Structure 1
Amino acid sequence: MILCHLALSTFLFNLVASSQSSTVNLGYARYQGQALPDGITQWLGIRYAAAPVGPLRFSAPQDPETVEGVQDASQHGPLCIPTGEYPAPAGTSEDCLFLDLYVPSAARNATKLPVFVWIQGGGFNQNSSPNYNGTGLIKASEMAILVVTFNYRVGPYGFLSGAEVSKGGSVNNGLKDQIKVLKWVKTHISKFGGDPNHVVIGGDSAGAASITLLLSAYGGEDQGLFHAAAAESQSFGPVWTIDQSQFAYNNLVIRTGCASDPDTLACLRSLDTASIQRVNINTPLPSAQTPPLYMYGPVVDGDLVPDYTYRLFQQGKFIKVPVIFGDDTDEGTIFVPKNTSTVGEADTFIQSQFPNIRFDHLAKLNHWYLSENQTRQFPDSKPYWRPTSNAYGEIRYICPGIYLSSVFASAGVNSWNYHYAVEDPAAEASGEGVSHTVEENAIWGPQYVSGTPPASYFTSNAPIVPVMQGYWTSFIKFFDPNPHRYLGSPEWKTWGDGKDYRRIFIQTNNTAMETVPMAQRERCDYWTSIGTDLSQ
């Protein structure tokens, strides 16, 4: 009996101690996390900004309100509402500004571990890679890093623009949400054992586009919020001015019935979420024929985003920190309609994404990518799907990555580039190939992502996971992908002095350095030269 009481007392003591050690006081709230048996403590659903609803809709993120008592941090917060889905999907809400932390349980205030802040993708119109679990990366780091993930506003909730929004609210709010998270990290991460002076930002697709926008934010003003960056499939979509974005505001006002209101912005703010979501749809960009893949996105506001991305980097207006850029072999396949049957349909798709593209630009594109000898037939697809995918993949993703690697190298900053070519049998058979952001499964570990990984990442391609995790955790820890790389992995050499074009070719059991082929360099030089013409 005495032994039973002792055992119960020990259990209760440990339970209380665990609860106390996983409760963190942020000043505005206290959050209790979960200490898991695998040595990781997680805090899920921490509010980092006030609910952006009512009068705060279309406004910059504000500090969270103070709440009393200990808040449970065992559930992810709701995701932000996407464009083009009505009713709003389950698990989404306008009140979505929450973050998650994954921390080695042994971390204490004095440990000052490196911090990895992940920015998810989704074309700035959805949170497409939410709730990734940092456990795999932390274990690969030998329990020596912290991981932060978060949601940010997308679609009109995060990127509505126009004169009325600029005057009565704020533009680029999705980007400002990201900056709010980085400021939160700087203020609070030491309470979790993290080092606010050793923060690496990472992201995929629109998350990687966000990295390029944060690197060039305010013309490259370094606020000390991050110290290295790893961008996967950096995306250079068109960036409009506030005036050019007015059409989207006007269309939303008309569709919601707010056109006759003397204060159209106040009218939009007074609507319930369902009334906005019912008409939150993609429409063609001015001078385009069909709706783009992604309608809303960052705008040139003369402040946070002072100019086109290409131009800012051309002018040297960016933060000089160590960087990784890179892409997948078949970046465009998941975007281009599989029924693309003719050159005309291919050009129409490209023009719908880049409405400023000219006939002479399309002539180059058609010559390089769309000749008949480049057509390929795959199941359930038409012959111009893959050639159009190759064009779109280079214009939007691959060529910007090559360009950025050269810019950083020319500025004397350590710059690494990768070509991810890990082939999955099912994806190769379907024609999707090594598709956009598939490397996330290797970086995080296939069991820790929120989507469905290719089956081969648990079997034939399982060996690539520790290789990628070794490079990434090394970069997070040392701002260099090599010191902590996986045993037997080749040295990942820098891009070079701007002329070498060295990148790492990543393939299961076949990873090695390679040089960008001259034909791809020629194409990318051209797309880079007209990048500002395309509003990139």
Structure 2
Amino acid sequence: MTRLQHLLHAALLASAVTAVPQKVDLGYASYVGAALENGLTQWMGMRYAAAPVGDLRFMPPQDPPHEDEPQQAVQPPLACLGTKRSVNDNTTSEDCLFINVMAPSSATPQSRLPVFFYIQGGGFNTNSDPNINATGIIDAADRDLVVVTINYRVGPYGFLTNGDEITPNNGLRDQRKALEWVQAHISKFGGNPDHVVVGGTSAGGASVIFHLTADNGTDRGLFHGAISQSGSFAATLTVQQSQYQYNQFATRLGCATADSLSCLRGKTAKQIQEKNYNIPLPGAAAAPLYQWLPVLDYDFITDYTYRALGEGKFIKVPTIFGDNNNGGTTFAPSNTSTLAASNEFLLNQYPTLTPAQLGELNEMYPNPNNTCPNLGCYWRQLSNAYQEVRYMCPALFANDVYSRRRRRRRQQGPPSWAYLWNVEDPKQMAEGKGVPHTVELEAIIGPEYAAKRAPESYLPGGINERASPVVQGYWTSFMRALDPNKYRAEGTAEWRPWGPRSSRSGGGGEARLVFGRGATTEMVGVDDDMKRRCEWWVRHGVEMML
């Protein structure tokens, strides 16, 4: 359908039905959104939970309050307060549990459009991509989609617990509360609560996996497909192991008292932010990149992720798991110049690694740089190890466990698709970053709509300008049909599910869809060396608390 035909079709739809009003009554409140000139309507900053302040600080999300007067929903809401963020950051607030919806203006409550629910990343310590503009995604879906985005609590606000009075994992509970909101209200915006795809990037991708494995894989009917982009596997402490974080946090805020929790709730957000920084994990020498993380509480998170997945304790829905080719370059310190420094960085992230295990890792990840002792000569060696333990191997393992279940069920289980984003931007390559962490998000949103500037080569006229429409074709096809192939862009490769290669099953073997420079697409098998390295990480995953 051409752009002109699309506009004419939209105009006919608008004249045939009554469009969703800008004002939507949710029962507890009514919100007035903004009809945009592009034929979409957005509602920004609707409360899906009560403000988590005062006595509700560190509490599970509560129902939003009733509002008698219509609420304006036309301005982007403030993001949640992040760890190590300035106390003067005027883009964040403790009052942050808001949800945004964008939908075609022609949609009605009877439209029952597919819904994409996006969870942003930020290492569970920040909201890294609040208020994304979903225009490009909805356009790529031929206006057959409703997109939902949320803020959720991070840092100590979302992941502090004391093992008694503070319920663990409130940041994840915020996300579940928002998914429940979608079930209750998305039809009023034209969405179908029976067709929700949950997706996320980095910590958002990890969140997707936590929701898949929550409560031993209990399906609450909150979503029906899942996309985990560059999902991050960090060390998961038990509630008891994380107690030191509460003790340290309360002490540095002057709350070493018999009623430390009341003291913490009495502090201002500014006072908390002044002391909101990371400290080392148990057994580590220095603070990890991200300290405040989900914990093993045997309630929401009932087991280590590798074991939960390996034992089949996950929700059985169609899935996509994948990563970028060089996901570690933005995290590994660029000045890493010795093998000892490389090992120390890994040990600070995963403090249960033993000297013998680090020795095995050093053999598996030889240094590709022969310029030592120059500054940073071990950067890429460390980057290679970190990207595989944190992102790439977990994604391949997730694909594998879904595929194994499907093979046992003789292809009756839901399929899983694997991808590798390897669209090389010349500038990023020249900087030594390769294809860095989460860069595929810029293409999925669309370079013209991405909040962060996309690589120059992704923009019109660049060598990778086709990257966005190509990946959008697969992604929105999955969002609409739970199959990335049905509406994929013309001329792109068939994306076969991960699993055995056979004409009967349509499986692609242990192969990923690789997005290459210029937006080429092809199915490529995973090489034996990577399989061997990933098998090592899987074998030691639980003892590393993954």
TM surpasses 0.5: yes
**Hey, what's the Cα distance between the residues in 1 that align with 2:544 and 2:369?**
26
**Hey, what's the Cα distance between the residues in 2 that align with 1:28 and 1:169?**
27
1:467 to 462, 465, 470: 470
What displacement does 1:58 show? 0.5
| 1:326-345 superposed matches below 5 A | 326-345=322-341
**Hey, what's the Cα distance between the residues in 1 that align with 2:29 and 2:508?**
52
Which residue of 2 is the match for residue 397 of structure 1? 391
In structure 2, the CA distance between the partners of 1:295 and 1:21, relative to structure 1 (3 Å rule), is same
Which residue of 1 is the match for residue 484 of structure 2? 481
In structure 2, the CA distance between the partners of 1:377 and 1:234, relative to structure 1 (3 Å rule), is farther
**Does the 8 Å CA contact 1:121/1:208 hold for their aligned counterparts?**
yes
Which has the larger displacement, 455-464 or 296-305?
455-464
**Hey, what's the Cα distance between the residues in 1 that align with 2:523 and 2:480?**
22
In structure 2, the CA distance between the partners of 1:208 and 1:102, relative to structure 1 (3 Å rule), is same
Instruction: Return 5+ residue gaps in structure 2 as ranges.
Output: 1-13, 407-413, 501-506
| 1:37-436 superposed matches below 5 A | 37-163=37-163, 167-259=164-256, 261-371=257-367, 374-375=368-369, 382-412=376-406, 413-436=414-437
**Does the 8 Å CA contact 1:82/1:88 hold for their aligned counterparts?**
no
What displacement does 1:370 show? 3.5
Tell me the secondary structure at the aligned position of residue 197 of structure 1.
strand
2:512 to 486, 503, 518: 503
1:523 to 513, 520, 533: 533
**Does the 8 Å CA contact 1:332/1:389 hold for their aligned counterparts?**
yes
Which residue of 1 is the match for residue 35 of structure 2? 35
| Correspondence 1:438 to 2:458 | no
What displacement does 1:295 show? 0.3
Q: Supply the AA of the counterpart residue of 2:438.
A: T
What displacement does 1:365 show? 1.2
Q: Supply the AA of the counterpart residue of 1:444.
A: I
Tell me the secondary structure at the aligned position of residue 528 of structure 1.
helix
**Does the 8 Å CA contact 2:484/2:495 hold for their aligned counterparts?**
yes
Q: Supply the AA of the counterpart residue of 2:392.
A: I
**Does the 8 Å CA contact 2:20/2:106 hold for their aligned counterparts?**
no
Tell me the secondary structure at the aligned position of residue 99 of structure 1.
strand
Tell me the secondary structure at the aligned position of residue 534 of structure 1.
coil
Q: Supply the AA of the counterpart residue of 1:443.
A: I
**Hey, what's the Cα distance between the residues in 2 that align with 1:386 and 1:376?**
11
What displacement does 1:499 show? 9.6
Tell me the secondary structure at the aligned position of residue 162 of structure 1.
coil
In structure 2, the CA distance between the partners of 1:194 and 1:375, relative to structure 1 (3 Å rule), is same
**Hey, what's the Cα distance between the residues in 2 that align with 1:510 and 1:19?**
39
**Hey, what's the Cα distance between the residues in 1 that align with 2:25 and 2:315?**
32
**Does the 8 Å CA contact 2:492/2:520 hold for their aligned counterparts?**
no
**Hey, what's the Cα distance between the residues in 2 that align with 1:370 and 1:280?**
37
Q: Supply the AA of the counterpart residue of 2:38.
A: D
Which residue of 1 is the match for residue 497 of structure 2? 494
**Hey, what's the Cα distance between the residues in 2 that align with 1:472 and 1:421?**
16
Q: Supply the AA of the counterpart residue of 2:493.
A: P
Q: Supply the AA of the counterpart residue of 1:204.
A: T
Q: Supply the AA of the counterpart residue of 1:314.
A: G
Tell me the secondary structure at the aligned position of residue 41 of structure 2.
strand
Instruction: Return 5+ residue gaps in structure 1 as ranges.
Output: 1-13
Q: Supply the AA of the counterpart residue of 1:487.
A: E
Q: Supply the AA of the counterpart residue of 2:377.
A: P
Q: Supply the AA of the counterpart residue of 1:494.
A: P
Q: Quote the RMSD (CA, aligned, Å).
A: 1.7
**Hey, what's the Cα distance between the residues in 1 that align with 2:508 and 2:474?**
24
Q: Supply the AA of the counterpart residue of 1:347.
A: N
Which has the larger displacement, 362-371 or 413-422?
362-371
Q: Supply the AA of the counterpart residue of 2:453.
A: T
Tell me the secondary structure at the aligned position of residue 24 of structure 2.
strand
**Hey, what's the Cα distance between the residues in 1 that align with 2:356 and 2:485?**
43
**Hey, what's the Cα distance between the residues in 1 that align with 2:278 and 2:437?**
22
Tell me the secondary structure at the aligned position of residue 276 of structure 2.
coil
**Does the 8 Å CA contact 1:343/1:370 hold for their aligned counterparts?**
no
Which TM-score applies when normalising by structure 1?
0.94
**Hey, what's the Cα distance between the residues in 2 that align with 1:19 and 1:493?**
38
Q: Deviations over 1:276-296 (max 9, x none)?
A: 111111111111011100000
**Does the 8 Å CA contact 2:470/2:519 hold for their aligned counterparts?**
no
Which TM-score applies when normalising by structure 2?
0.92
**Does the 8 Å CA contact 1:81/1:88 hold for their aligned counterparts?**
no
**Hey, what's the Cα distance between the residues in 2 that align with 1:31 and 1:117?**
19
Runs of 4+ in structure 1 deviating by more than 3 angstroms, as ranges, are 17-20
| Correspondence 1:514 to 2:524 | yes
**Hey, what's the Cα distance between the residues in 2 that align with 1:88 and 1:256?**
18
Q: Deviations over 1:61-85 (max 9, x none)?
A: 0000001111111111110001012
Share of identical aligned residues, percent?
A: 47
